[in-house]
Amino acid sequence: MRTDFDFTPYRRSTVGFDHLFDLLEKGQRSETSDGYPAFDIVREADDRFRITLAVPGFKPDEIEIVAQQNQLAVTGKPAEEDAKSTYLHRGIARRAFERRFQLADYIEVGSASFTDGLLTIELNRVIPEAMKPRKIEIGSGDAEPRRIGSSKEKALESA
């Protein structure tokens, strides 16, 4: 039995959505299937998000956050431990990890903080001015419509 969804029929009938289908297929074959470390994603407002990862036992200098294009990668590498310590039970996972998040267009990583074993990353949606809706003023119908390259426009430019 096949457990993944086949996007081939949709790829054939759409143009320009390859990136979306690639993301969906990539999400099906998730790179980190063990779920470590646990995380939450919260929408604080329409244009603000927060990712919180539970990383107990890690220190801030053992964690690296890299934002590149539309991807956020959080990597943790525990430092070498004292050879003096002998554990009878090891219940707090301190293994190396890499967690990747696909970010939508215009999502920028704002800041990161580390408190009580929780790594919090703030994300903001910053839409360029050219992409924001703008109001178009409606002119009166008295003016003659201007055409690009018309003889009147050329005469005005040469004067």
What domains appear along the chain, each with residue ranges and CATH number? 1-30 (no CATH), 34-80+91-129 (2.60.40.790)
Query: What letter would DSSP give residue 150?
Result: -
Give the least confident one: 3-7, 64-68, 146-150.
146-150
**Omega before 37 within 30 of 0, i.e. cis:** yes
pLDDT at 142 over 80: no
Q: Place 129 in a pLDDT band, splitting at 50, 70 and 90.
A: confident
| The token pair that represents 36 in the structure block | 């470590």
The whole-number pLDDT of residue 128 equals 85
Q: How far, in Å, CA of 36 to CA of 95, rounded? A: 9
Q: Place 1 in a pLDDT band, splitting at 50, 70 and 90.
A: very low
Q: Which residues pair with 113 in a beta bridge?
A: 120
